Chain A
């Protein structure tokens, strides 16, 4: 499966925080055939395993969170419009006139209403309408809406994926499904006969609301080593103040005091050795990713973080370049091969 195809297929899946199981059958059909086993837990983690066949093999966890930001139906007005609330960090700014999907018993298309400028007062023109005042039009009456989209129903962005003429890909949920596609590519490219470790691929849940599920996955797996793939900010006007990275310049390795510094060094050396483009970023005391959690979970796991730069994070049109995804996959595969490859190659070296 090409990375782009897989990314688009994953993007299409509904996995709004807390509803990671919504398209579970389709997810299983997509991923499981390439793995030996899969395990799903009760809080949104999907774990896929490849075995090397050796006894007591070390366990390597490669994590890419699968949940994405979204919304939830909070209440229904007398006219049948939906009030929504945030699940994860959706920016209110991208919502006026946004195309949404309300995931009730059926998928219901909805449009966020916005007040026409002609009818706004001077004060209103200067202000952003807060999320709690936004309304979603699904074309139904209150009675119909209460059955089709009762309060608590998750709401996501309409999935539309596009390849731009410059090769960039744009779509929703690329945070963090571009990492998932890269990890899938890396892990399925490895020849298990030449490895001395088992591979655990966690498509974990509930990252966007404060990393609630990942420690349970670690508890279940008890990994000996972990690599986390997530997205990071691509350079853009206004991003100077934060640690941002260049687009199309390879994966970003986090230099940080919170994670395993030896493993981080090893990753950078491996990239150099195999001529894989790589860049680094300093996130001294926190990476704000699953890596921080895995490092301290279940007795501690040597962990490092590799990120893929994206533009417009947390919008319905996140942009990523396939070259960065491919280089990330190559790096993950090389790190695992160099660390756990058996026999000939390693001894000769």
Chain B
């Protein structure tokens, strides 16, 4: 799974241009599924069903990542961007970025030698930066980059000590790799005739641009599951001292999957929540509760309200530096996530 994680995290798939990752996933899962299709807006949906009629379950993880679009190219050939999703603009200064055709650029930063003390204290905002690709002027720049082009952080995969992995989009892609391994397990269960659920696996698009509705909504509408499980990355800040209210820490990297009772978009189904905790206890899977409910909600927000309502649960992977060019996860958390999804889908009645 480590190899798969690496491969997936090196692919570039900013919201709206997920094809590279989608094709990679499709190739990986097709041999194990009854069907693999795209819906009308690009969500990748894989199905594995037993012969008899069973309850319908949907498990999803998003394919896309934060990135940017080219807003303008000025006469000097410098490129202004607009950030897609919650990309951490304060991690952009002086960083390498890549356009989808492979063109590499560097995000501007004023040399420290000429910065005023007032400027020195301010973080980077997207309207104060540009991307330099070294073009002489607009005409030369436009041979390489056009207005509306998409880009992401430069792909890089860095294994740290203690089975810790860093790279762009690694939180989301870890969930994707977990879902892929769940598909393989489900296939095995079907062969062994132990599969008790109609399983719909959704790799969704455009999750990061949360200002709009979640695109996964269409998948939920078409599938009409009774139950849904959402896998996503969870922002973690376990390295800074918590504030007086002890609210900032969120969760701890390495302490297991995050099972939320609620977040800013969803109050999770109480039974599913309680059962999930019980399942972790029974199976010895490391889990934790987030210590804050203020965390921005994920795709559950759209799914649980879909059609006439879907019982929804979300389990998340604690991720440091979320939405930066170097997100960090602990492999043992990913193992816990994979173990949980397997137990939840294939063992639970």
Is A99 within 8 A of B158, CB to CB? yes
- Give the CA-CA distance A164 to B122 in the complex, in Å: 29
Give chain A interface residues in 138-197, CB to chain B under 8 Å: 138-141, 144, 148, 158, 160, 162, 164-168, 170
Known contacts A99-B158, A319-B106; is A312 also within 8 Å of B88 by CB?
A: no
Known contacts A139-B162, A315-B93; is A117 also within 8 Å of B86 by CB?
A: yes
Is B94 within 8 A of A114, CB to CB? no
Interface string of A300-335 (1 = CB under 8 A from B): 000000000001111111010100000000000000
Give the shortest distance, in Å, between B20 (CB) and chain A (any CB): 19
Known contacts A89-B112, A113-B320, A317-B94; is A128 also within 8 Å of B120 by CB?
A: yes
Is B113 within 8 A of A99, CB to CB? no
- Give the CA-CA distance A170 to B131 in the complex, in Å: 13
Is B323 within 8 A of A93, CB to CB? no
Interface string of A77-116 (1 = CB under 8 A from B): 1010100000001111110111100000000111111111
Partner among A97, A108, A158 whose Cβ is within 8 Å of the Cβ of B321: A97
Pull 26 A–B residue pairs with CB atoms less than 8 Å apart, ordered by A.
A92-B120, A97-B325, A98-B91, A99-B326, A108-B161, A109-B158, A114-B321, A115-B240, A116-B237, A116-B250, A117-B323, A135-B239, A137-B166, A137-B320, A139-B160, A139-B161, A139-B163, A140-B161, A148-B161, A164-B133, A165-B103, A237-B108, A239-B114, A312-B111, A312-B132, A313-B113
Give the shortest distance, in Å, between B50 (CB) and chain A (any CB): 40
Known contacts A113-B320, A137-B320; is A93 also within 8 Å of B124 by CB?
A: yes
Binds A, one of B134-142, B184-192, B219-227: B134-142
Nearest CB to that of B248 among chain A residues? Answer: A119
State the majority secondary structure of interface residues on A: loop
Is A321 within 8 A of B134, CB to CB? yes
Please indicate the chain B residues that have their CB under 8 angstroms from the CB of A314 in the complex: 111-113
Residue A118 at the chain B interface, CB threshold 8 Å: yes
- Give the CA-CA distance A139 to B161 in the complex, in Å: 5
Give the shortest distance, in Å, between B312 (CB) and chain A (any CB): 20
Interface core residue of A91, A109, A116, A313 (most chain B CB under 10 Å): A116
Is B94 within 8 A of A97, CB to CB? no
Residue A238 at the chain B interface, CB threshold 8 Å: yes
- Give the CA-CA distance A158 to B111 in the complex, in Å: 20
- Known pairs A79-B239, A233-B113, A314-B113; list 12 more (Cβ under 8 Å): A93-B94, A94-B93, A94-B109, A97-B95, A108-B160, A119-B235, A126-B122, A128-B120, A164-B133, A236-B108, A311-B106, A312-B108
Nearest CB to that of B90 among chain A residues? Answer: A96
Residue ranges of B at the interface with A (Cβ–Cβ < 8 Å):
78, 86, 88, 90-91, 93-96, 103-106, 108-115, 120-124, 130, 132-136, 140, 144, 156, 158-164, 166, 235-240, 248, 250, 292, 294-296, 320-326, 328
Is B90 within 8 A of A316, CB to CB? no
Nearest CB to that of B325 among chain A residues? Answer: A97
Nearest CB to that of A168 among chain B residues? Answer: B134
Q: 5 tightest CB-CB pairs across the interface, nearest first?
A: A315-B94, A168-B134, A139-B164, A139-B160, A166-B134
Is A170 within 8 A of B96, CB to CB? yes
- Give the CA-CA distance A236 to B132 in the complex, in Å: 10
Is A94 within 8 A of B94, CB to CB? yes
Residue A273 at the chain B interface, CB threshold 8 Å: no
Is A114 within 8 A of B88, CB to CB? yes
Is A91 within 8 A of B109, CB to CB? yes
Residue A248 at the chain B interface, CB threshold 8 Å: yes
Is B239 within 8 A of A128, CB to CB? no
- Give the CA-CA distance A106 to B24 in the complex, in Å: 35
Is B328 within 8 A of A111, CB to CB? yes
Residue A241 at the chain B interface, CB threshold 8 Å: yes
- Give the CA-CA distance A248 to B140 in the complex, in Å: 14
Is A138 within 8 A of B94, CB to CB? no
Please indicate the chain B residues that have their CB under 8 angstroms from the CB of A137 in the complex: 160, 164, 166, 239, 320, 328
Residue A122 at the chain B interface, CB threshold 8 Å: no
- Give the CA-CA distance A166 to B79 in the complex, in Å: 14
- Give the CA-CA distance A148 to B160 in the complex, in Å: 13
Please indicate the chain A residues that have their CB under 8 angstroms from the CB of B105 in the complex: 164
Known contacts A137-B320, A167-B134; is A114 also within 8 Å of B90 by CB?
A: yes
Please indicate the chain A residues that have their CB under 8 angstroms from the CB of B121 in the complex: 127-128
Please indicate the chain B residues that have their CB under 8 angstroms from the CB of A81 in the complex: 239
Please indicate the chain A residues that have their CB under 8 angstroms from the CB of B294 in the complex: 118
Give the shortest distance, in Å, between A340 (CB) and chain B (any CB): 35
- Give the CA-CA distance A242 to B115 in the complex, in Å: 10
- Give the CA-CA distance A89 to B115 in the complex, in Å: 12
Partner among A77, A116, A141, A160 whose Cβ is within 8 Å of the Cβ of B88: A116
Please indicate the chain A residues that have their CB under 8 angstroms from the CB of B106 in the complex: 170, 311-312, 317, 319
Give the shortest distance, in Å, between B208 (CB) and chain A (any CB): 13
Interface string of A119-137 (1 = CB under 8 A from B): 1000001111000010101
Give chain A interface residues in 66-86, CB to chain B under 8 Å: 77, 79, 81
Is A140 within 8 A of B162, CB to CB? yes
Give the shortest distance, in Å, between B238 (CB) and chain A (any CB): 8
Give the shortest distance, in Å, between A168 (CB) and chain B (any CB): 3
Please indicate the chain A residues that have their CB under 8 angstroms from the CB of B140 in the complex: 166
Please indicate the chain B residues that have their CB under 8 angstroms from the CB of A311 in the complex: 106, 108, 132
- Give the CA-CA distance A140 to B330 in the complex, in Å: 11
Please indicate the chain B residues that have their CB under 8 angstroms from the CB of A139 in the complex: 160-164
- Give the CA-CA distance A168 to B136 in the complex, in Å: 11
Known contacts A93-B94, A137-B164, A233-B114; is A319 also within 8 Å of B124 by CB?
A: no
Please indicate the chain B residues that have their CB under 8 angstroms from the CB of A313 in the complex: 111, 113
- Give the CA-CA distance A242 to B110 in the complex, in Å: 12
- Give the CA-CA distance A248 to B137 in the complex, in Å: 13
Please indicate the chain A residues that have their CB under 8 angstroms from the CB of B328 in the complex: 111, 113, 137
Give the shortest distance, in Å, between A145 (CB) and chain B (any CB): 9
Nearest CB to that of B115 among chain A residues? Answer: A91
